[in-house]
Amino acid sequence: MKNTFVAEIEVPKSKRKSATAILKRIEALIAIAEPEHLEMLQRSLEPKVVSSAEKELAKKIAGKDYVEGKSWELELANLERYYQRRRELLEGSITSSKVAELLGCQNRATVRDRRLANTLLGVKDRGVYKYPLWQFDPEGDDGVIDGLPEVLAALDVSDFTKLNWFNKPHLAFEGKAPIEILKQGRVEALVTEARAVGIGW
């Protein structure tokens, strides 16, 4: 798919430096963002009419902490944190061809089939599926950590949410990340927690 250019933005000279910095941040996010995330940002930019009564109620609830914030700034900050986390979690991941080579598969289609069958975790990034290295184990069944397929099958959420869940400290596991618990062989405990992920989202 070919790229396209959008219209240039005219800003006062006094605001040029700040505007340039903001646009560069937005440009970087657009380059790696999925369409649905851009749509979320677009919706946040749409004018929202807040009545005087709603403002007064918000002030009473928040008290001194009440701030009339700009929704697009908050949304942009949230997206930046999201993509920073995404980059961190995918750092060191390998592509389908590398996975096929690592596991001795005949082709990438086998890797895709295993991902769809929840025996491998892959996250689509810039049009290419990437596979975190921590899931591979030469001594495990089918070349992955024992119990991984069972936990993946119990996680009824997006691929990225699965990746984030595996690497995020969890209160149920004494502040340890699920991947640490999986390496300890506590598969049943992980499956129980995994089934609850996404409920009520």
pLDDT digit string, tens, across residues 43-98: 666 655 556 665 565 555 555 555 555 566 666 777 778 888 889 999 989 999 99
Q: How far apart are the first and last CA of the chain?
A: 33
Q: What pTM value is reported for the model?
A: 0.64
Assigned token pair, 91: 């750092």
What whole-number distance in Å separates Cα of residue 124 and Cα of residue 34? 10
Q: Which residues of 34-69 are buried (b: 16+ CB within 10 A; e: fewer)?
A: eeebeeebeebeeeeeeeeeeeeeeeeeeeeeeeee
What is the three-class DSSP state of 161?
helix
pLDDT digit string, tens, across residues 160-193: 999 999 999 998 899 999 999 999 999 999 999 9
